[in-house]
């Protein structure tokens, strides 16, 4: 196992990842496949570090946004099915073919390039068609012309169209229904041309919980895997898998009236004990949590005071006199024991839960636990 090369770590409970994955699989049943979304380094959890746990607990596919994300997983896992949900530029499609990665496409041109590369490398590239139904992000525009283009792709001899998918804008029940119906109509139009897909899919985490009726053959959950409660009407039992932790680097006493950090935006109203912590906004901690965020030391809340620096920040420890250098600090916990959970951190930082997790940067080693014991360590910078 690698040494942990820093005090500030992202700790991942693999038992909770397994619990969430099983919970999702149980919700949809054996008939529906699950493409577990591990883009953005598995929402900060480390895609390589959790991939095996996902596959062993019900994930049929791993889905990423970009080619380099797919290649990172492929380097460690030769057999896993990996879907790139985003666009790969033409001149990089060669990597897709050589690494047996499933590519999303939404043009005949890319299908033709993949077909040619397949012949060149003696492979049959596997693709999922992206179909636009209203998010207006990626996909073949909903039209008869697009159906004809997809039909042309089906006639290329050396590309396999395994799936077709769309993505909901989640703009409300009625808007979801309109998108779903457009998608079904397109699939039926293709069926009448003799084109069938093994996988049709339109749902992410929120919609998969809220709308059982739109699950089709596959769902693409992301945030629920990580234990984030992403739904409005449904329910799914989940456990947050991530904690963000560090240790106190320095403690000092200051006098009433002294300032702390740049610009002295915080000044001591009384004699105070100040702790310095080795994390800052370069680690993905929101700089706008100054004056709002807190960490947890010995089960007590310690408010973050003064401007949050790039690599460090300061907390008020006056009411926690037993705190000493080296003591554990919970930056994000699961909400118990006075810890700030991902949801509340996102509310305070005026952003969403996924952003709080994905912005955790490569500088913090990922530390993986099973049964409360460290089983794996991943340092991105070493």
Q: Could you confirm whether 226 is annotated as catalytic? A: no
- For the segment 277-336, give every residue that binds ligand PLP (CB under 6 A): none
Q: Could you confirm whether 39 is annotated as catalytic? A: yes
Q: How far is the CB of 43 from ligand PLP (least distance, A)?
A: 7
CA 70 – CA 81 distance, rounded (Å): 10
Pick the closer one to ligand PLP by CB: 8 or 133: 133
- Spot the catalytic one: 26, 121, 152, 262: 262
Q: Does 222 bind ligand PLP (CB under 6 A)?
A: yes
Q: Does 37 bind ligand PLP (CB under 6 A)?
A: yes
Of the listed pieces 189-197, 218-226, 267-275, 340-348, which binds ligand PLP according to CB under 6 A? Answer: 218-226
Task: Burial-class residue 234 by CB neighbours within 10 Å (0-12, 13-18, 19+).
Answer: middle
CA 20 – CA 13 distance, rounded (Å): 11
332 is written with which tokens? 């994000």
What would the DSSP string read from start to end of 11-47? EEEHHHHHHHHHHHHHHH-TTSEEEEE-HHHHHTT-H
225 is written with which tokens? 């895997």
* Among residues 16, 33, 110, 205, the one that binds ligand PLP under rule CB under 6 A: 205
Residue that is written with structure tokens 């799914």 in the block: 236
Pick the closer one to ligand PLP by CB: 63 or 159: 63
CB 357 within 8 A of CB 41: no
Of the listed pieces 73-81, 204-212, 234-242, 290-298, which binds ligand PLP according to CB under 6 A? Answer: 204-212
Q: How far is the CB of 358 from ligand PLP (least distance, A)?
A: 10
CA 44 – CA 342 distance, rounded (Å): 12
Q: Does 45 bind ligand PLP (CB under 6 A)?
A: no
Pick the closer one to ligand PLP by CB: 220 or 294: 220
- Spot the catalytic one: 25, 39, 243, 245: 39
Of the listed pieces 113-121, 222-230, 276-284, 303-311, which binds ligand PLP according to CB under 6 A? Answer: 222-230
- For the segment 89-128, give every residue that binds ligand PLP (CB under 6 A): none
What would the DSSP string read from start to end of 173-208? HHHHHHHHHHHHHHHHHHHHTT---SEEEEE-HHHH
Pick the closer one to ligand PLP by CB: 101 or 277: 101
CB 286 within 8 A of CB 349: yes
Pick the closer one to ligand PLP by CB: 86 or 278: 86
Binding-site size, ligand PLP (CB under 6 A): 12
Pick the closer one to ligand PLP by CB: 197 or 279: 197
CA 134 – CA 178 distance, rounded (Å): 9
* Among residues 223, 246, 272, 339, the one that binds ligand PLP under rule CB under 6 A: 223
Which of helix, strand or coil describes residue 341?
coil
Sign for the pseudo-dihedral over CA of 257, 263, 265, 266: negative
Q: Does 204 bind ligand PLP (CB under 6 A)?
A: yes
Q: Does 167 bind ligand PLP (CB under 6 A)?
A: yes
Site of interaction with ligand PLP (CB under 6 A)? 37, 39, 85, 167, 204-206, 220-223, 230
Q: Please identify every residue annotated as catalytic.
A: 39, 262
């Amino acid at each position: 196992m690698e040494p942990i090369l820093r005090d500030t770590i992202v700790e991942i409970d693999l038992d909770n990842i397994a619990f969430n994955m099983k919970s999702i699989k149980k919700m949809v049943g054996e008939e529906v496949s699950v493409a577990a979304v591990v883009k953005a380094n598995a929402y900060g959890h480390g895609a390589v570090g959790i991939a095996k746990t996902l596959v062993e607990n019900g994930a049929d596919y791993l889905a990423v946004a970009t080619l380099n994300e797919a290649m990172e997983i492929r380097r460690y896992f030769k057999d896993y099915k990996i879907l790139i949900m985003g666009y790969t530029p033409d001149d990089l499609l060669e990597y897709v073919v050589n690494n047996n990665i499933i590519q999303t496409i939404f043009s005949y041109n890319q299908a033709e390039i993949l077909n040619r590369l397949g012949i060149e490398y003696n492979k049959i590239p596997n693709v999922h068609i992206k179909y636009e139904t209203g998010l207006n992000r990626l996909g073949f525009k909903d039209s008869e012309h697009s159906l004809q283009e997809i039909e042309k792709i089906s006639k290329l001899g050396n590309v396999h169209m395994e799936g077709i998918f769309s993505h909901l804008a989640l703009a409300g029940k009625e808007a979801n229904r309109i998108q779903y119906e457009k998608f079904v109509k397109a699939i039926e139009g293709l069926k009448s041309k003799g084109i069938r897909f093994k996988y049709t899919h339109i749902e992410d985490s929120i919609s998969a919980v809220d709308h059982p009726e739109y699950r089709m053959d596959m769902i693409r959950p992301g945030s629920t895997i990580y234990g984030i409660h992403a739904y409005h009407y449904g329910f799914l039992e989940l456990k947050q898998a991530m904690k963000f932790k560090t240790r106190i680097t320095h403690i000092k006493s200051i006098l009433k009236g002294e300032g702390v950090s740049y610009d002295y935006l915080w000044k001591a109203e009384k004699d105070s004990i100040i702790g310095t912590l080795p994390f800052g906004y370069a680690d993905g901690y929101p700089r706008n949590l100054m004056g709002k965020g807190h960490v947890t030391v010995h089960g007590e809340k310690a408010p973050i005071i003064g401007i949050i620096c790039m690599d460090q920040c300061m907390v008020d420890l006056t009411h926690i006199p037993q705190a000493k250098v080296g003591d554990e600090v919970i930056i994000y916990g699961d909400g118990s024991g006075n810890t700030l959970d991902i949801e509340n951190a996102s509310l305070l930082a005026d952003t969403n839960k996924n952003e709080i997790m994905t912005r955790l940067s490569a500088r913090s080693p990922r530390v993986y636990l099973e049964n409360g014991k460290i089983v794996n360590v991943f340092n991105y910078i070493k």
